[in-house]
């Protein structure tokens, strides 16, 4: 590295004088250039026993582009280019290799394996350092610690985050959160807005000890740039594949006026980074991957095949059967990471998106029950009082597929009369849909007749 470039790095410190003594590390601006577009974030050096690298947030890297160049700058001065060394979608971390190795040796790392644990108490004054997307001048923003062990927010890997009160700017993702004495406390990854107007919002950071440990684990990888996951993430399609099913995040159709609007996953799968917005979401089951389906998930598979054949209905997931949230592929990924990749039984609903097509002529109990489940969920979209009936139909169908349980089906049929008033109200809510009620009742009578015949 030339003396001129070293001077470019040190010049801001020389100008700042004694005030810069509290700034213990160098923060750079990183830009991913692709097809005339520029995706910007912040980065700094991390040092481990396996070597050093630049570190930024993985979501800065665009999911739908292939950068032709990764450019590094400091205070507007060009420092050279970088290449992707390792990346971890689940932790929102990305490591960069610097082409000019002398530059990496010159940079003062913000994090090192030699750093001891850092204890922070609520109310501690901190600062956020990084670059906005529109500026080449490093920014410093005051921050106050809210919680040193906040629950993870839109992050696949379960890890407690550092939550601070402050005003981060878009582009500071990958920047450093540090104490006033210059000790790094974490890596900035997301912002937050409080529902309580007494608090305007702030930022979340991955804690320093986790980042250093994870960086060392990533540098230990040999086979690929991507950290291995117990499921498949198709980044360009915003899709997760696990247990034989294909999933993607969609907007919750029971909120807002655009139920089919897709939730764009931002660069890399973390839609709310700093300056983003996720909104109310659900998981749509969009298909099958061709892999073997676990026995407990086969009823879900059969129902998915039926609605895909007919069209007009989508399958949505909001949680696992044991109550864990699964409203996005990030939350589902978290469940899978905790379960070592095994897809748990999911609680799903059906949502009508278009007029139904004629039902197939096959009138086996399996087929009739599948149609009854679809009918009940369609009607529940018109009258929410029928949602428990739809869930009863779904459970009866699952028991029938798994156990051939006539008792489960009979229990469902016996529960239907209690919902007759809610079914009758469909005539008031949407008279044009009354034929669906008639079809459901006819279908239920056929099921009862077939059960009686054995």
Q: In the prediction, which pLDDT does 19 show?
A: 40
> Closest Cα partner for 312 from 273, 268, 350?
350
Whether 184 and 110 have beta carbons less than 8 Å apart is answered as yes
3-state DSSP call for residue 108?
Answer: coil
pLDDT tens digits along 277-335: 456 889 999 999 999 999 989 999 999 998 888 888 999 999 999 999 898 888 899 89
d(CA 250, CA 283): 6
Helices 406-415 and 387-403: crossing angle, nearest 10°?
170
Q: In the prediction, which pLDDT does 36 show?
A: 81
- Location of structure tokens 């979401």: 281
d(CA 351, CA 191): 32
Helices 406-415 and 434-453: crossing angle, nearest 10°?
140
Q: What is the pTM of this model?
A: 0.74
Q: Which is it for strands 37-48 and 111-112: parallel, antiparallel or unpaired? A: parallel
d(CA 213, CA 111): 10
Domain 125-214: give its CATH code.
Answer: 2.40.10.10
Q: In the prediction, which pLDDT does 264 show?
A: 36
Q: In the prediction, which pLDDT does 199 show?
A: 57
d(CA 151, CA 264): 23
d(CA 252, CA 279): 9
Rounded (10°) CA dihedral 24, 88, 37, 9: 20
Report how far Cα 394 is from the mean position of its chain's Cα atoms. Answer: 27
Q: Which CATH number fits domain 3-112: 2.40.10.10, 3.90.76.10, 2.60.40.1930, 3.30.465.10?
A: 2.40.10.10
d(CA 192, CA 363): 52
For every one of its 454 residues, what pLDDT tens digit does the chain have, with 9 covering 90 and above?
454 544 454 444 444 444 444 457 999 999 999 888 888 999 999 999 999 999 999 988 866 667 789 999 998 899 999 999 999 989 999 999 998 888 988 999 999 988 888 899 999 999 999 999 888 999 999 999 999 999 877 688 888 999 999 989 989 999 999 999 999 999 999 888 765 545 568 999 999 999 999 999 999 988 788 888 899 988 767 789 999 999 998 888 876 433 333 333 333 444 445 554 456 889 999 999 999 999 989 999 999 998 888 888 999 999 999 999 898 888 899 899 988 778 999 999 998 886 655 555 568 899 899 999 999 998 998 898 999 999 999 999 999 998 998 999 999 999 999 999 999 988 888 888 888 898 899 999 999 988 887 6
Q: In the prediction, which pLDDT does 257 show?
A: 39
Whether 111 and 27 have beta carbons less than 8 Å apart is answered as no
pLDDT tens digits along 186-206: 999 988 876 554 556 899 999
Q: Which is it for strands 184-192 and 176-179: parallel, antiparallel or unpaired? A: antiparallel
d(CA 42, CA 28): 6
What is the token pair recorded at 51? 């070597």
Helices 298-310 and 365-382: crossing angle, nearest 10°?
70
What residue spans define the domains of the chain? Answer: 3-112, 125-214, 232-453
Q: In the prediction, which pLDDT does 14 show?
A: 43
- Residue 6 φ then ψ, to 5°: -60, -40
Largest CA distance in the chain: 92
d(CA 260, CA 248): 12
Q: Please, which residues have CB within 8 angstroms of residue 306's CB and are 6 or more apart in sequence?
A: 367, 370, 371, 374
Whether 201 and 153 have beta carbons less than 8 Å apart is answered as no
d(CA 453, CA 449): 6
Q: In the prediction, which pLDDT does 266 show?
A: 36
> For residue 288, what are the β-bridge partners?
245
Q: Please, which residues have CB within 8 angstroms of residue 227's CB and are 6 or more apart in sequence?
A: 86, 87, 88, 89, 90, 91, 217, 218, 221
Can 3-112 and 125-214 be said to share one CATH topology? Answer: yes
* Structure letter (DSSP) for residue 154: S
């Amino acid at each position: 590295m030339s003396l001129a470039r070293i001077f470019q790095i040190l010049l801001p410190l020389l100008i700042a004088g004694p005030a810069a003594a509290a700034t213990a590390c160098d923060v750079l601006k990183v830009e991913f250039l692709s097809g005339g577009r520029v995706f910007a974030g912040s980065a700094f050096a991390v040092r481990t026993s396996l070597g050093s690298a630049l570190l930024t947030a993985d979501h800065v890297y665009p999911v739908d582009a292939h950068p032709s160049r990764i450019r590094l700058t400091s205070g507007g001065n060009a420092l050279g280019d970088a290449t992707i060394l390792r990346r971890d979608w689940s932790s929102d971390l990305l490591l960069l290799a610097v082409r000019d190795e002398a530059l990496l040796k010159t940079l003062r790392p913000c994090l090192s394996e030699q750093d001891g644990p850092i204890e922070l108490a609520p109310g501690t004054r901190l600062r956020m350092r990084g670059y906005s997307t529109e500026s080449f001048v490093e920014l410093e923003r005051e921050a106050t610690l809210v919680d040193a062990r906040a629950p993870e927010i839109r992050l696949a890997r379960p890890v407690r985050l550092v939550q601070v009160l402050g005003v981060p700017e878009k582009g500071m993702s990958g920047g450093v959160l540090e104490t006033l004495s210059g000790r790094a406390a974490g890596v900035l990854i997301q912002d937050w807005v409080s529902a309580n107007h007494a608090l305007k919002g702030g930022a979340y950071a991955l804690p320093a000890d986790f980042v250093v440990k994870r960086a060392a684990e990533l540098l230990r990888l040999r086979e690929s740039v991507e950290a291995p996951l117990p499921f498949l993430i198709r980044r360009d399609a915003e899709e997760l594949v696990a247990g034989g099913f294909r999933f993607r995040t969609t907007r919750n159709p029971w909120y807002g006026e655009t139920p089919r609007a897709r939730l764009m996953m931002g660069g890399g799968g973390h839609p709310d980074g700093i300056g983003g917005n996720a909104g109310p979401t659900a998981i749509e089951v969009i298909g099958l991957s061709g892999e073997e389906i676990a026995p407990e998930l086969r009823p879900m598979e059969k129902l998915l095949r039926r609605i895909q054949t007919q069209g007009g209905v989508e399958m949505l997931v909001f949680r696992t059967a044991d109550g864990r949230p699964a409203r996005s592929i990030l939350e589902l990924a978290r469940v899978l990471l905790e379960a070592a990749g095994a897809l748990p039984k999911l609680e799903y609903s059906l949502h009508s998106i278009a007029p139904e097509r004629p039902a197939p002529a096959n009138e086996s109990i399996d087929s009739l029950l599948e149609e009854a489940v679809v009918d009940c969920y369609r009607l529940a979209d018109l009258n929410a009082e029928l949602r428990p009936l739809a869930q009863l139909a779904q459970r009866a169908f699952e028991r029938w597929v798994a156990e051939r349980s006539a008792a489960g089906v009979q229990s469902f049929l016996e529960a239907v009369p209690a919902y007759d008033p809610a079914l009758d109200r469909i005539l008031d809510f949407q008279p044009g849909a009354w034929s669906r009620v008639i079809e459901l009742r006819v279908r239920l009578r056929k099921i009862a007749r077939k059960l009686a015949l054995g």
